[in-house]
Amino acid sequence: MFNDSVNRFRIISAIEGISFLLLIFIAMPIKYIGENPYPVKIFGMVHGILFIFFMLSLFQTKINKNWNKGFMFQLFVFSLLPFGALLIEKRVKAQRD
């Protein structure tokens, strides 16, 4: 499963997307409604590290699978959106077929 760069990218993308949703929909309300900033610090750091892994995996997969820059940029933009991991999964799956 982790041997193929596309599968590795899909897994990292899903994990990064989940961390983004946790940050937005759990940690941020706790910060602003519950007036407790610590969950944002923790989830923010975890999400930041996962985003770095996402970008490294994206570049590695681009090189290994010869993805064009437009497709790579599109996946990057999707990663900035909440639930963008679902769009990434759909596009990568369509690219493989």
- Chain segment 37-92, per-residue pLDDT in tens: 999 999 999 999 999 999 999 999 999 999 999 999 999 999 999 999 999 999 99
Could you tell me the pTM of the whole model? 0.91
pLDDT surpassing 90 at residue 95:
no
Closest by CA to 22, choosing from 6, 3, 45, 4, is: 45
Decide: 51 and 79 in contact? Cβ < 8 Å. yes
Total domains in the fold of the chain:
1
Decide: 32 and 73 in contact? Cβ < 8 Å. no
Its domain, for residue 55, covers: 5-96
Kind and range of the H or E run holding 35 = none
